[in-house]
Structure 1
Amino acid sequence: MKNSNKLNTYITEEFLQYIDKFDSKVMTAFTHFSEREMLLSRMTKLTEETGELANEILASIEYQRPEKLKNHSKETLEGEFSDVFVTALLLAKAANIDINKAIEDKIKKLNKRYSTNNQYFQNVNNYKTYTQI
Structure 2
Amino acid sequence: MDKSESLQEMQAEVDAYIKQFKAGYFSPLSQMARLTEEVGELAREINHYYGEKPKKSDEQPKTVEEELGDVLFVTLIMANSLSIDLTEVFNRNMKKFNQRDNYRFERKDGKTHD
**Given the two structures, how large is their TM-score scaled by the length of structure 1?**
0.64
Task: Report the count of equivalent residues.
Answer: 102
Q: Do structure 1's residue 82 and structure 2's residue 69 form an aligned pair?
A: yes
State whether residues 56 and 72 of structure 1, in contact with CA within 8 Å, keep that contact through their aligned partners in structure 2.
no
Find 2:30's aligned residue among 34, 41, 45: 41
**1:69 Cα deviation after fit:** 8.7
Give the structure 1 partner of residue 46 of structure 2. Answer: 57
Letter in 2 for 1:18: E
Letter in 1 for 2:47: L
Percent identity of the aligned residues?
27
State whether residues 92 and 98 of structure 1, in contact with CA within 8 Å, keep that contact through their aligned partners in structure 2.
yes
Distance (whole Å) between structure 2 residues aligned to residue 105 and residue 68 of structure 1: 44
State whether residues 28 and 78 of structure 2, in contact with CA within 8 Å, keep that contact through their aligned partners in structure 1.
yes
Find 1:108's aligned residue among 91, 95, 98: 95
Q: Do structure 1's residue 23 and structure 2's residue 12 form an aligned pair?
A: no
**Given the two structures, how large is their TM-score scaled by the length of structure 2?**
0.73
Seen in structure 2, the aligned counterparts of structure 1 residues 68 and 25 have a Cα distance that, compared at 3 Å, is farther
Which has the larger Rg?
1
Structure with bigger helix share is 1
- Specify every segment of 5 or more residues in structure 2 that has no aligned partner in the other structure, as ranges: 107-114
Q: Do structure 1's residue 67 and structure 2's residue 56 form an aligned pair?
A: yes
Letter in 2 for 1:41: S
The CA RMSD over aligned residues, in Å, is: 2.6
